[in-house]
Amino acid sequence: MKAFLFSLLIALTISSCSKPAENGLQDLSATEFQQSIQTNASSQVLDVRTPDEFTGGHLAGAISADISSEAFQQAAEALDKNKAVFVYCLSGGRSSQAAQQLVAMGFKEVYNLGGGILAWNAANLLLSTEEGATSQHAGMTLATFETQIKGKKKVIIDYNATWCGPCKTLSPILEAYVKDQKGAVELIKIDVDANPELAKAKNIEAIPYLELYHDGKLSWKNVGLIGRAELNKL
């Protein structure tokens, strides 16, 4: 009897772990996302970043469908709602919004790339170099970054992107904090879109992302929006 109950418990656990996401929407890791696309014979892949981001490097076979323009609606309407659709952006925020819209439009199976292109790069997966896509500009290297912070007593690094809403909210908070320190703290802002090599080297999978360095050594880091009260504790 005990053996039967134990087997039943294991079966229920496995069943609960493999249960598909509610409403047909599921977040996947970078490797899961890649494998799912490769094993799905009729993959429909939407890149919901801006056209400039798309041309800088994208997943093979992806369709450019900027979520902030009519391009997304037009691209979505051209897809088969009964087939799986895969969506991604830089860090996962815009694609989550796009995935919700696809579900609302009646798509039965929607997969979102958790962490976006940042997670894709961190997993050492390749971006497309097919016709219509140019090689992604590497931007700042880790070595160049280390040179920038060398010799600085205290510096905050703000990793951001121009399209990132929380990054825009955080920016004036950081600037006001640094100003109040009267030169004791320096602020360096780094656009992850323009510096993909550095973002990959640091395994940045979400923004805003902050780092604090004392005498060139990392002493604190934070992912996501943060308030002035937390900064005052640094």
User: Catalytic positions, please?
Assistant: 164, 167
**216's torsion region: left (phi>0), alpha (psi -120 to 50) or beta?**
left
Pairing of strands 63-64, 85-88: unpaired
3-state secondary structure (DSSP) of residue 56: coil
Query: Omega before 208 cis (within 30°)?
Result: yes
Pairing of strands 44-47, 154-160: unpaired
Both tokens of residue 23?
Answer: 């409403």
DSSP secondary-structure letter at 98? H
